Amino acid sequence: MSPAPPSRSFNSGPRTIPFQAPQGDLAILAGSANPKLGKAIAEMLGVVLTPCEALHFSEGNVFVRVLDNVRGRDVYVIQGSHNPVNDNFMELLFWIDALKRASAQNVTAVIPFFSYAKGDKKDEPRVSIRARVCADAIEAAGADRVLTMDLHSPQIQGFFRVPVDHLYARNVLCDHIRTLNIPDLAVCSPDVGFAKGASAYANLLGVPVVIGNKQRHGHDETVEVLEVIGDVAGKNVLLADDFTISGGTLIEMAHVLKSRGARDIYAAVSHGVLSKGAAARIAASDIKEMFMTDTIENHPDPLPANITCVSVAPLFAEAIRSIHDRTSVSSLFPDAKPIGKK
């Protein structure tokens, strides 16, 4: 009889501690979608960015190459999937594959904005659940973990079989908004779908919340505001949402809030996707100031004076440090309640 294989666990008294591979050296790699954010995160972690290059050829092919040894290292590749969405997403897959083939010990896909999160269900006949396809592709490429921020549909975390850490920008945005000391403030969700998120903003700021009700026509960006649930007369209002593309929802809601007697209108979004012309429309709207994060860097138009960008690099850096040191990431959510607390 052959001897039993060696155990992959360590015995310590009555309990067994599962085997864990020793952590490798921390490495940060920034793809072409988020070079500034990647550099800021690396500086906050006190590491030098891993040199790399991404080439986009004239026929549309993407080529990536890691220019330093990553064997046995824990690599965090920072690459969002914003516009150009498919190029950036394919580049992310290629980075993961290149790092695994270069014998990186662990590869974490840090996706500041996960664009296909909107495709989370089969809500029409014969359509793809695009977010699930993307999740499968990220796993198939070899990602060991995913770190992202403000998924449009948080349940997408369940599409992955690898661990997913989901950060929220509202804590960083609310920290900035508090410094403005806006009086008589109320938070407004532009639709019932973000009511829970708007309530979290309101709780962090210690102000009331009102809810909008909108209707979208087809797959375009045209929206119609049907109702506002709550009183905004004489109040300053903060519109809160996870992202904005054309600005249409925020602009229309701001107009309706003004007609209901609101004073100054502000907006806060985690991801300023901002398609062509959106920045100019927001600049000319009833929105006094919009706050967004730096999860997206390449906007088609210059940002106007009434759009303020707040960096989430410190939050991502702290999350990466916690993951690398194997400490809890939940401490990054000050509005989260401990289990058992009401």
Q: What is the DSSP letter of 118?
A: G
Q: Phi and psi at residue 316, in whole multiples of 5°? A: -65, -40
Instruction: Kindly tell me the burial class for residue 140, based on how many C-beta atoms sit within 10 Å of its own C-beta (0-12, 13-18, 19 or more).
Output: exposed
Q: Closest by alpha carbon to 109, among 69, 71, 137? A: 137
Q: Is 39 a catalytic residue?
A: no
Question: Domain boundaries in the chain?
Answer: 21-168+315-330, 170-310
Q: Phi and psi at residue 53, in whole multiples of 5°? A: -145, 145
Q: Closest by alpha carbon to 268, among 286, 249, 251, 291? A: 291
> Are both 21-168+315-330 and 170-310 of the same fold?
yes
Query: So what CATH class is 21-168+315-330?
Result: alpha beta
Q: Which of 214, 258, 276, 337 is catalytic?
A: 214
Tell me the helices (H) and strands (E) count for the chain, helix number first.
8, 16
Q: Closest by alpha carbon to 270, among 96, 80, 131, 44? A: 80
Per-residue pLDDT of the chain (342 residues; tens, 9 = 90+): 555 554 444 444 444 444 445 567 999 999 999 999 999 999 999 999 999 999 999 999 999 999 999 999 999 999 999 999 999 999 999 999 999 999 999 999 999 999 999 888 888 899 999 999 999 999 999 999 999 999 998 899 999 999 999 999 999 999 999 999 999 999 999 988 899 999 999 999 999 999 987 666 555 556 666 688 899 999 999 999 999 999 999 999 999 999 999 999 999 999 999 999 999 999 999 999 999 999 999 899 999 999 999 999 999 999 999 999 999 888 787 665 544 444
Cβ(19)–Cβ(8) below 8 Å: yes
Cβ(228)–Cβ(212) below 8 Å: yes
DSSP string for residues in 155-196: GGGGG-SS-EEEE-THHHHHHHHHTT--SSEEEEESSGGGHH
CATH T-level fold of 170-310 = Rossmann fold (3.40.50)
